[in-house]
Amino acid sequence: MISSDFLGKSFISVDQITSRVQLDSLFLLADAMGVGVDTHTTLQSLVGMTVAILFYQPSTRTFSSFEAAARRLGATVIAIHGMDHYSSVSKGETLDDTIRSIYQTTGADVIILRHPDNDSSEVAVRVSPVPIVNAGSGTKEHPTQALLDLYTIYTQMGRIDNLRMVMVGDLKYGRTIKSLTKLLVKVGKGNSFTFVSPKELSAPQELIAHLANNKAKVVERHAMGSSLQSADVVYMTRVQKEWFVAEGKLNEYEHLKNAFVLDSTLANQMPKKAIIMHPLPRVGEILHEVDTNPRAVYFKQMRSGLLMRMALLQAILKG
């Protein structure tokens, strides 16, 4: 199955995706949503439903695409950005009380949550009478980004199997690469991973072990070397300044922030059919000169975000 697997359920981790068939059903729904968007059609499937969007961390793409997705399906949207500054959280309210309150005050049918704590989605699920969607939790998970990343790979490469993935940048704090690689080993076959990062920003060993236990070939590198020449997908990420700030390590950030920068010369080493992805925002790790390279798909990737989030909201609220 099938998109009805998601009906009435929270979606807080890629671990909840259990089969390729489930993923294919979301891809099909996303394709259908694309037709609606292309023809400027507002679908009516969620009329009468309310989607609450609570963000405790900054966001451009995830916030706007969830809001647009809900509105394009006809739902009423209550979207609050800057929860950490502008809500009672600044008075000391706990996340569980906030979730209970938002349910009562808005009558939400689903709550989309982005929060700096790794376990925030689990906390929210425990008290929420309606499904929770994790729009980014701490340094741990970003499951809807993983879905849209995989949909991008599928639409651009025509497959999610036998891919040579090169993941570059902040693999310690970055949450997107963790969700994406875990999802890929679950639903894809024969994919291999080269992790390229400064030593200080290496991927957690539990992640490496998890991928290896799931039969994926994983290599760790601290230099690009020749990895780009045999890549199918190069997934660049930003060094996550906010976590250095939180840990009082701004000097270390300054030292590491430009460790890996993709320019045209490096991009042109990649096979012609390979693609360059980035969850964005970028802060220097992909030079603007790369934007016109035919391999660059990071702008198209954002459109996948709109379509996949429409598909997911539809699947959770209507099946």
Which residues are marked as active site?
A: 61-62, 91, 114, 142
Q: Give backbone dihedrals phi and psi of 33, rounded to 5 degrees, phi first.
A: -65, -35
| 198 lines the binding site for ligand NCD (CB under 6 A) | no
Among 16, 20, 31, 61, binds ligand NCD (CB under 6 A): 61
Would you give the binding string for ligand NCD spanning residues 69-108, x where CB under 6 A is met? ----------------------------------------
| 175 lines the binding site for ligand NCD (CB under 6 A) | yes
Among 52, 77, 136, 244, binds ligand NCD (CB under 6 A): 136
Residues between 1 and 60 with contacts to ligand NCD, criterion CB under 6 A: none
Between 62 and 98, CB nearer to ligand NCD: 62
Among 178, 238, 295, 309, binds ligand NCD (CB under 6 A): 238
- What is the number of the residue whose Cβ is closest to ligand NCD? 279
Between 176 and 197, CB nearer to ligand NCD: 176
| 62 lines the binding site for ligand NCD (CB under 6 A) | yes
Q: How many residues bind ligand NCD (CB under 6 A)?
A: 11
Among 145, 156, 197, 202, binds ligand NCD (CB under 6 A): 145
| 143 lines the binding site for ligand NCD (CB under 6 A) | no
d(CA 41, CA 63): 21
Place of tokens 């012609």: 272
Minimum distance, C-beta of residue 299 to ligand NCD, in the bound complex (Å): 12
**Residue 135 · residue 55 · CB < 8 Å:** yes
| 279 lines the binding site for ligand NCD (CB under 6 A) | yes
| 142 lines the binding site for ligand NCD (CB under 6 A) | yes
Q: Is the dihedral of CA 174, 179, 182, 188 positive or negative?
A: negative
Minimum distance, C-beta of residue 215 to ligand NCD, in the bound complex (Å): 27
| 176 lines the binding site for ligand NCD (CB under 6 A) | yes
Contacts of 20 (CB under 8 A, 6+ apart): 187, 188
Minimum distance, C-beta of residue 40 to ligand NCD, in the bound complex (Å): 25
Between 175 and 182, CB nearer to ligand NCD: 175
Between 62 and 194, CB nearer to ligand NCD: 62
Please report, as ranges, the residues that interact with ligand NCD according to CB under 6 A: 61-62, 136, 142, 145, 175-176, 238, 240, 279-280
